[in-house]
C-alpha cells in the first residue's frame, strides 16, 4: 500500500516502517502533497496531522482534493487545529487526537488493516539496572566475549552516552564513527542500510580462524556526550527499530544507562519483544537498584517479565550478604524472573585486563579459571533462554588445565566464593 504522510511527528515514519508491504512518502510541504494527489496514479491513503505549519483552510483543501480522487484520508488533530476535530468527524473522516508516534502508527495500522512485518529476527538484549556501578558494562563485555566463543555474531550497542564505559573497556579509538550523528540526520536514515556504515568493527574482536563469531559496535560518544548531542526518547526508539532489523548478527547487547525513568531503554526493549539482563550484586544498595528496575518493568510490561533475567555477581570481599540468600529473596518477590547463574569476582583478571597494553578479554587472560567457566555457564543459560542455538560447543578445560590455572592463582579469590543454588 502507498501511504502519504504529512506530519512532523518524530519517529512516526520509523514506527510505520515496521509494517510490511507499506510504501511511505513523507513530503514536508502541503503543495507537494497536492502534486502527489494530482498525479495520474494517486496513493491509496493520506494521513495528515497538524504538527507541520499549515493553515486549516489549506488542510481542508487538500483533504477535499484527496477524497475527490478516491484517496482514503485519516486525520490527527491534536494541536492548533484540535477545534476542527468535530468537523472532520462530521465529514466522515477517521480521526484521532494523539501526539505519541507509536500510538498514531498503531492506529494507522488498524485503520488501514496493515499486517505487521515479520517480527525482528535479531534477539535484542538490554543490560539494565536502576543504579550506576552495578556492573552493566562489565556484564556486557563478558557476555559479548562468551557469546562470540560460541560462534555467535554479536553487536554491542553502547546506549549509555553519558558514561560510555564500553569505550575504554574495548579500547575503542576516537576514529570510530558515532551513531549520534546518524540520529541527528533524522528518522529517514535509521533503517539497516543507514546504520551499517556507523557500525565499528575492530580488528581485535573479529571472528577468527577457530570459528568464533565477531563483536561489532555501535558507539555513541567517546567521552561524556555533549548536551546538544543528547538523544530524545522517540529518536532512540525509532533507531532501535532499525537496529533490530540489521542482518548479519545473532543478537544485540545493549548497555543501558542507569537513569531508567528518563531513558527507559530496557523497558522499551522488553515491550518490543526483547530481553533484559539485570546484573545483581547482593549488597543492600545494589539489590535495591535491581528491585527498582524490576518494579518499573513489572509495571510497564507485566506480561513480559519472564523475559527478564538476573545475573548474580559475587560481592567484593567483606560484603556480608551472599548471592544464595539474595537469589531466594528475588525468586520470592519476582517469581517470573529467572536466574542466569552467578559470576565470581575476579578483581585480578579485571585489573590485568584494564592495565593491559591494548584490548584483551578476561576470558583470554584466564581461560581455565573459575571465572571463565562461570561465564560459559551463564552464556549457555542465556542462549537457552533466547532460543539461540550456538554453532560452537561450550568451551571446556581439561582437569589438568584447571588445576594448573588454580596453582597459578588464576581467579584465586573467585575460587573461594560460595557456590550458588
Ligand X SMILES: Nc1ncnc2c1ncn2[C@@H]1O[C@H](COP(=O)(O)OP(=O)(O)OP(=O)(O)O)[C@@H](O)[C@H]1O
The residue ranges that bind Mg ion (CB under 5 A) are: 136-137, 165
Q: Cβ 225 to ligand X, closest distance in Å?
A: 13
Q: Cβ 314 to ligand X, closest distance in Å?
A: 6
CB 312 within 8 A of CB 326: yes
Number of residues that bind ligand X (CB under 6 A): 18
* CB of 66 or CB of 166, closer to Mg ion: 166
Question: Given candidates 93, 233, 305, 350, which one binds ligand X under the rule CB under 6 A?
Answer: 350
Would you give the binding string for ligand X spanning residues 251-290, x where CB under 6 A is met?
-------x--------------------------------
Angstrom distance (rounded) from CA 275 to CA 306? 9
Determine the interface stretch with ligand X among 88-96, 117-125, 160-168, 384-392 (rule: CB under 6 A).
160-168
* CB of 71 or CB of 172, closer to Mg ion: 172
Among the listed residues 194, 276, 207, 191, the one whose alpha carbon sits nearest the alpha carbon of residue 240: 191
- 67-70 contacts at long range (C-beta below 8 A, 24 or more positions apart): 69/37, 69/38, 69/42, 70/42
Q: Cβ 170 to Mg ion, closest distance in Å?
A: 12
Handedness of CA 290, 292, 295, 296 (dihedral sign): negative
**DSSP letter (8 states) at residue 118:** P
Residue nearest to Mg ion (CB): 137
Determine the interface stretch with ligand X among 158-166, 198-206, 259-267, 321-329 (rule: CB under 6 A).
158-166
In angstroms, the Cα distances linking 396 to 64, 373, 375 are 71, 8, 12
Helices (H), 202-339: 233-244, 265-271, 284-300, 323-333
Considering CB distances under 5 to 8 angstroms, the limit depending on partner class, which of Mg ion, ligand X, none binds residue 309?
Answer: none
Among the listed residues 153, 191, 256, the one whose alpha carbon sits nearest the alpha carbon of residue 16: 191
Angstrom distance (rounded) from CA 267 to CA 128? 9
Q: Cβ 307 to ligand X, closest distance in Å?
A: 20
Identify the helix (H) or strand (E) that includes residue 343.
Answer: strand 338-343
* CB of 132 or CB of 191, closer to ligand X: 132
Determine the interface stretch with ligand X among 66-74, 105-113, 342-350, 384-392 (rule: CB under 6 A).
342-350
CB 116 within 8 A of CB 18: yes
What pairing do the DSSP bridges indicate for beta strands 154-158 and 45-49?
Answer: unpaired
Query: Is 374 near ligand X (CB under 6 A)?
Result: no
Residue 317 phi, psi dihedral angles, 5° rounding: -60, 140
Considering CB distances under 5 to 8 angstroms, the limit depending on partner class, which of ligand X, Mg ion, none binds residue 258?
Answer: ligand X
Question: Given candidates 27, 94, 109, 132, which one binds ligand X under the rule CB under 6 A?
Answer: 132
Query: Is 313 near ligand X (CB under 6 A)?
Result: yes
Determine the interface stretch with ligand X among 9-17, 85-93, 136-144, 215-223 (rule: CB under 6 A).
136-144
Three cell numbers, residue 228: 546538544
Question: Given candidates 163, 178, 267, 307, which one binds ligand X under the rule CB under 6 A?
Answer: 163
Question: Given candidates 160, 235, 241, 286, which one binds ligand X under the rule CB under 6 A?
Answer: 160
Q: Which residue do the cell numbers 494507522 mark?
A: 108
Query: Is 347 near ligand X (CB under 6 A)?
Result: yes
Query: Is 343 near ligand X (CB under 6 A)?
Result: yes
Query: Is 133 near ligand X (CB under 6 A)?
Result: yes
* CB of 146 or CB of 370, closer to Mg ion: 146
Helices (H), 258-346: 265-271, 284-300, 323-333
Angstrom distance (rounded) from CA 229 to CA 77? 30
Determine the interface stretch with ligand X among 94-102, 133-141, 187-195, 225-233 (rule: CB under 6 A).
133-141
Sheet architecture: strand order including 215-218: 215-218, 154-158, 251-255, 123-127, 275-280, 308-313, 338-343
Considering CB distances under 5 to 8 angstroms, the limit depending on partner class, which of Mg ion, ligand X, none binds residue 343?
Answer: ligand X
Q: Cβ 130 to ligand X, closest distance in Å?
A: 10
Q: Cβ 193 to Mg ion, closest distance in Å?
A: 30
Q: Kindly provide the residue ranges of all beta strands, DSSP E only, lying in 141-269, ordered along the sequence.
A: 154-158, 215-218, 251-255
Angstrom distance (rounded) from CA 182 to CA 220? 10
Binding-site ranges for ligand X (CB under 6 A): 129, 132-138, 160, 163, 165, 258, 313, 343, 345-347, 350
Amino acid at each position: 500500500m502507498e501511504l502519504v504522510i504529512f506530519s512532523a511527528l518524530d519517529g512516526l515514519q520509523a514506527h510505520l516502517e515496521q509494517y510490511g508491504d507499506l510504501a511511505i512518502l513523507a513530503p514536508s510541504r502541503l503543495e507537494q502533497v497536492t502534486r502527489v494527489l494530482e498525479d495520474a496514479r494517486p496513493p491509496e491513503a493520506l494521513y495528515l496531522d497538524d504538527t507541520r505549519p499549515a493553515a486549516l483552510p489549506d488542510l481542508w483543501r487538500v483533504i477535499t482534493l484527496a477524497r475527490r480522487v478516491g484517496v482514503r484520508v485519516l486525520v490527527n488533530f491534536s494541536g492548533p487545529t484540535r477545534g476542527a476535530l468535530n468537523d472532520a468527524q462530521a465529514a466522515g473522516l477517521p480521526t484521532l487526537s494523539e501526539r505519541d508516534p507509536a500510538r498514531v502508527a498503531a492506529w494507522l495500522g488498524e485503520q488501514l488493516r496493515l499486517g505487521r512485518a515479520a517480527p525482528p529476527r535479531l534477539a535484542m538484549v538490554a543490560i539494565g539496572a536502576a543504579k550506576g556501578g552495578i556492573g552493566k558494562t562489565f556484564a556486557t563485555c563478558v557476555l559479548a566475549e562468551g557469546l562470540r566463543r560460541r560462534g555467535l555474531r554479536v553487536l554491542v550497542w553502547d546506549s549509555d552516552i553519558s558514561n560510555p564505559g564500553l569505550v575504554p573497556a574495548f579500547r575503542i579509538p576516537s576514529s570510530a564513527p558515532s551513531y549520534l550523528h546518524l540520529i541527528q540526520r533524522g528518522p529517514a536514515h535509521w533503517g539497516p542500510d543507514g546504520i551499517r556504515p556507523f557500525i565499528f568493527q575492530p580488528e581485535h574482536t573479529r571472528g577468527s580462524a577457530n570459528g568464533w563469531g565477531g563483536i561489532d559496535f555501535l558507539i555513541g560518544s567517546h567521552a561524556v556526550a555533549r548536551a546538544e548531542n543528547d538523544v530524545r526518547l522517540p529518536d532512540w526508539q525509532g533507531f532501535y527499530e532499525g537496529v533490530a532489523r540489521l542482518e548479519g548478527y545473532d543478537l544485540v547487547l545493549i548497555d543501558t544507562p542507569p537513569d531508567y525513568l528518563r531513558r527507559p531503554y530496557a523497558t522499551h526493549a522488553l515491550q518490543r519483544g526483547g530481553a533484559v539482563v539485570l546484573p545483581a550484586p547482593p549488597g543492600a544498595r545494589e539489590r535495591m537498584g535491581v528491585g527498582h528496575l524490576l518494579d518499573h518493568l513489572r509495571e510497564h510490561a507485566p506480561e513480559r517479565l519472564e523475559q527478564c533475567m538476573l545475573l548474580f555477581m559475587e560481592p567484593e570481599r567483606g560484603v556480608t550478604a551472599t548471592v544464595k540468600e539474595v537469589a531466594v529473596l528475588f525468586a520470592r518477590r519476582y517469581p517470573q524472573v529467572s536466574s542466569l547463574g552467578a559470576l565470581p569476582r575476579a578483581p585480578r583478571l579485571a585489573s590485568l585486563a584494564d592495565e593491559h597494553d591494548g584490548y584483551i578479554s578476561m576470558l583470554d587472560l584466564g581461560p581455565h579459571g573459575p571465572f571463565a567457566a562461570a561465564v560459559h555457564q551463564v552464556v549457555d543459560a542465556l542462549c537457552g533462554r533466547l532460543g539461540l542455538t550456538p554453532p560452537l560447543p561450550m568451551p571446556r578445560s581439561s582437569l589438568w588445565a584447571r588445576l594448573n590455572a588454580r596453582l597459578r592463582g588464576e581467579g584465586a579469590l573467585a575460587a573461594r566464593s560460595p557456590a550458588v543454588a
